[in-house]
Structure 1
Amino acid sequence: MLPKIINLCPTGTLTTKENSFAPIYYSEIIDDVLACYEIGISVVHLHARDNLGQNTYKKEVYQKIIEGIKKHAPDLVIGVSLSGRFYNENNLRAEVLSLYPDLASLTMSSLNFPKNASINTPDTILWLIEEMKKYGVNPEIECFDSGMINFTNHLIKKGILVEPIYMNVILGNLFNAGTDISTISSIVHNLPNHAKVCFGGIGQAQLKSNLIGLIEADGVRIGLEDNLYLNDKNKATNRQLLERIHRIMNELDYCYMSTTEFKNLGYGNKKTNGFGAK
Structure 2
Amino acid sequence: MSLNTPKEVFITCAVTGSGASHNKSKHVPRSPKEIAESAIDAAKAGAAVVHCHVRDPITGEPARDPSLYREVTERIRDSETDVVINLTAGMGGDIVFGPATSPLPLKDGTDMVSAEERMEHILECHPEICTLDCGTMNFSEDVMANTPAILRAMAKIATENDVKIEIEAFDTGHLWFAKKLVDEGFISKPVLLQLCMGIPWGAPDDINTLMAMVNNIPENWIFSTFSIGRNQMPYVAAAVLTGGNVRVGLEDNIYLEKGVLATNAQLVEKAKSIIKNMGSSIMNPSQVREKLSLTKK
TM-score (norm: length of structure 2): 0.85
One-letter amino acid of the structure 2 residue matched with residue 93 of structure 1: R
Partners of 1:56 and 1:185 lie apart in 2 by: 34
RMSD: 1.9
Partners of 1:240 and 1:162 lie apart in 2 by: 34
Partners of 1:249 and 1:47 lie apart in 2 by: 26
Determine if the alignment matches structure 1 residue 89 to structure 2 residue 96.
Answer: no
Aligned positions of 1:198-213 closer than 5 A: 198-213=224-239
Q: Matched residues, percent identical?
A: 26
**C-alpha contact 1:9 1:225 (8 A) present in aligned 2:** yes
Larger Cα-atom Rg = 2
Match of 2:257 among 231, 237, 242: 231
1:34–1:188 distance in 2 versus 1, CA, 3 Å: same
Determine if the alignment matches structure 1 residue 100 to structure 2 residue 126.
Answer: yes
Match of 2:33 among 17, 27, 38: 27
Determine if the alignment matches structure 1 residue 76 to structure 2 residue 83.
Answer: yes
Aligned equivalent of 1:9: 14
**C-alpha contact 1:8 1:43 (8 A) present in aligned 2:** yes
Match of 1:254 among 263, 276, 280: 280
1:117–1:230 distance in 2 versus 1, CA, 3 Å: farther
5+ residue gaps, structure 2, are 1-5, 95-109
Partners of 1:27 and 1:160 lie apart in 2 by: 34
Secondary structure at the counterpart of residue 10 of structure 2? strand
Q: Number of aligned residue pairs: give it.
A: 271
TM-score (norm: length of structure 1): 0.90
Aligned equivalent of 1:276: none
Determine if the alignment matches structure 1 residue 42 to structure 2 residue 29.
Answer: no
Aligned equivalent of 1:61: 68
Runs of 4+ more than 4 Å apart:
none
Displacement of 1:212: 1.4
One-letter amino acid of the structure 2 residue matched with residue 65 of structure 1: V
Deviations 1:18-41 (A, max 9, x none): 212211111111111111111111
Q: After the TM superposition, which of the residue ranges 149-158 and 39-48 deviates more from structure 2?
A: 149-158
Deviations 1:58-77 (A, max 9, x none): 22111111111111235321
Deviations 1:178-201 (A, max 9, x none): 222321221111012211100111
Displacement of 1:16: 4.5
Aligned equivalent of 1:181: 207
1:54–1:267 distance in 2 versus 1, CA, 3 Å: farther
One-letter amino acid of the structure 2 residue matched with residue 61 of structure 1: L
Partners of 2:72 and 2:203 lie apart in 1 by: 32
Secondary structure at the counterpart of residue 190 of structure 1? coil
5+ residue gaps, structure 1, are 274-278
Secondary structure at the counterpart of residue 229 of structure 2? coil
Secondary structure at the counterpart of residue 28 of structure 2? coil
Aligned equivalent of 1:220: 246
